[in-house]
């Protein structure tokens, strides 16, 4: 299985930079694993939002899109769970 490239939107990168350092480390670790398996056990497809998936990392949610034809994982946003689906 070939690796996927992981890219961040500008807003997702800013959201990541504003997280506490301990949370950043956990989130980045989980995101790095998406390059080898973009749909690991525990992720959910978001209903009614096309190609979007949700990854849970503690109280935070990583919303991302998978583009299989280009082998690309596009990180859309990284937010606290109370704000993630707005």
pLDDT bucket at 1, cuts 50 / 70 / 90: low
Question: How confident is the model at residue 68, as a pLDDT?
Answer: 92
- Tokens read off for 21: 């350092």
The tokens of 6 are what?
């992981």
Judge whether 25 and 36 are in contact, CB under 8 Å: no
Q: Residue 15 pLDDT more than 80?
A: yes
For residue 64, count CB atoms less than 10 angstroms from its CB and return exposed for 0-12, middle for 13-18, buried for 19 or more.
buried
Distant-in-sequence, close-in-space partners of 33: CB < 8 Å, separation ≥ 6: 40
Q: Which domains does the chain have, with CATH numbers?
A: 5-80 (3.30.2310.20)
pTM above 0.85, yes or no: yes
User: What is the pLDDT at residue 18?
Assistant: 96
As a whole number, mean pLDDT of residues 4-28 equals 96
What is the per-residue pLDDT across 21-72, written as a single tens digit (0 to 9) for each? 999 999 999 999 999 999 999 999 998 878 899 999 999 999 999 999 999 9
């Amino acid at each position: 299985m070939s690796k996927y490239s992981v890219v961040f939107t500008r807003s997702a990168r800013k959201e990541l930079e504003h997280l506490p350092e301990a949370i950043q480390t956990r989130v980045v670790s989980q995101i790095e694993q998406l390059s080898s398996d973009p749909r690991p056990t525990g992720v959910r497809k978001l209903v009614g939002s096309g190609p979007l998936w949700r990854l849970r990392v503690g109280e935070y949610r990583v919303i991302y899109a998978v583009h299989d034809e280009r082998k690309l994982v596009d990180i859309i946003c990284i937010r606290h769970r109370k704000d993630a689906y707005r």
